[in-house]
Amino acid sequence: MRNRRISSFLLAASLFGLPMAVASSRQPPEAPANWETTDDPRRVPIPPPDRSKEPLLVLRGGTLIDGTGAAPIANAMVVMQGDRIVEAGPSSRVQAPAEARVVSVDGLYVVPGLIDLHLHFTQQRGDDFGRYRDSDAASAVRGMLLVEQLLDGGITAVRDVGTRNDVALKLKEAVERKMIQGPRIFWSGQLIASRGGHGDETTSTATGRPRAADEARVRIATGPDDWRLAVREQIRNGADWIKITAPYSREEVAAAVDEAHQHGIKVAADAFGEFVDMGAEAGLDSLEHPLDVSDEGIALMKRHGTSFVPTMTAFYNVIHTGYPPASIPPGGFYFTMSRRFPVTHDGIMSVLSRARAAGLLVGIGTDIPFENEKRNPSDYFVELRLFKEAGYTDAEILYAATRDGGKILGIEDKLGTLEKGKLADILVVSGNPLEDYKNLENLRLLVADGEIVRDRLGRSPTTSGSR
* Amino acid letter for position 314: A
- Give the side-chain half-sphere CA count within 13 A for 103: 26
Identity of the amino acid at 142:
R
pLDDT tier, 2 (very low <50, low <70, confident <90, very high otherwise): very low
Q: CA 379 to CA 401: how far, in whole Å? A: 13
Query: What is the distance between the alpha carbons of residues 105 and 437, in angstroms, rounded to a whole number?
Result: 19
CB atoms within 10 A of CB 345: 14
Lowest mean pLDDT among 175-179, 183-187, 216-220, 310-314: 216-220
- Give the type of residue at 275: F
Going by C-alpha positions, the residue among 292, 290, 267 that lies closest to residue 280 is: 267
pLDDT confidence of residue 176? 95
Tell me the domain boundaries of the chain. Answer: 56-112+420-464, 114-409
Q: What per-residue confidence (pLDDT) applies to 416?
A: 98
Spatial separation of the C-alpha atoms in residues 79 and 99, rounded to whole Å: 12
Q: Spell out the CATH class of 114-409.
A: alpha beta
CB proximity list for 374: less than 8 A, separation 6 or greater: none
What's the chain's length in residues? 467
- Indicate whether 9 pLDDT > 50: no
Task: Quote the pLDDT of residue 55.
Answer: 96
pLDDT of residue 15: 39
Lowest mean pLDDT among 19-23, 83-87, 458-462: 19-23
What are the two backbone dihedrals, phi and then psi, of residue 266, each rounded to the nearest 5 degrees? -90, 165
Angstrom distance (rounded) from CA 124 to CA 121? 9
* Most distant pair of Cα atoms in the chain: their distance: 77
Q: Of 324, 354, 288, 282, which Cα lies nearest the Cα of 130? A: 324
Residue type at 334? Y
Output the pLDDT for position 31: 67
pLDDT at 462: 54
**Residue 105 main-chain phi, psi, to 5 deg:** -125, 35
Position 397 scores a pLDDT of 98
Mean pLDDT of the chain: 89
Right CATH for 56-112+420-464 from 3.40.640.10, 2.30.40.10, 3.40.1080.10, 2.40.37.10: 2.30.40.10
Residue 466 is predicted with a pLDDT of 42
Could you read off the pLDDT of 102-128 as tens digits, one per residue? 999 999 999 999 999 999 988 877 778
pLDDT at 347: 93
pLDDT, tens digit (0-9, with 9 covering 90-100), for 235-244: 999 999 999 9
pLDDT band at 12 (very low <50, low <70, confident <90, very high): very low
- Amino acid identity of residue 90, one-letter, is P
Mean pLDDT confidence for 400-414: 98
pLDDT band for position 253 (cuts 50, 70, 90): very high
Neighbours of 450 (CB within 10 A): 20
Q: How far apart are CA 235 and CA 290, in angstroms?
A: 27
User: Which pLDDT belongs to residue 44?
Assistant: 93
Task: Quote the pLDDT of residue 17.
Answer: 42
212 band by pLDDT with thresholds 50, 70 and 90: low
pLDDT reported for residue 332: 78
Phi, psi at 404, each rounded to 5°? -70, -30
Of residues 382, 323, 379, the one with CA closest to residue 127: 323
- DSSP-assigned beta bridge partners for residue 119: 160
C-alpha pair distances (Å), 455 with each of 65, 103, 443, 446, 451: 19, 11, 9, 7, 11
Peptide bond into 55 cis (omega under 30): no
| Residue among 13, 14, 107, 11 nearest 63 (CA) | 107
Q: How far apart are CA 421 and CA 271, in angstroms?
A: 36
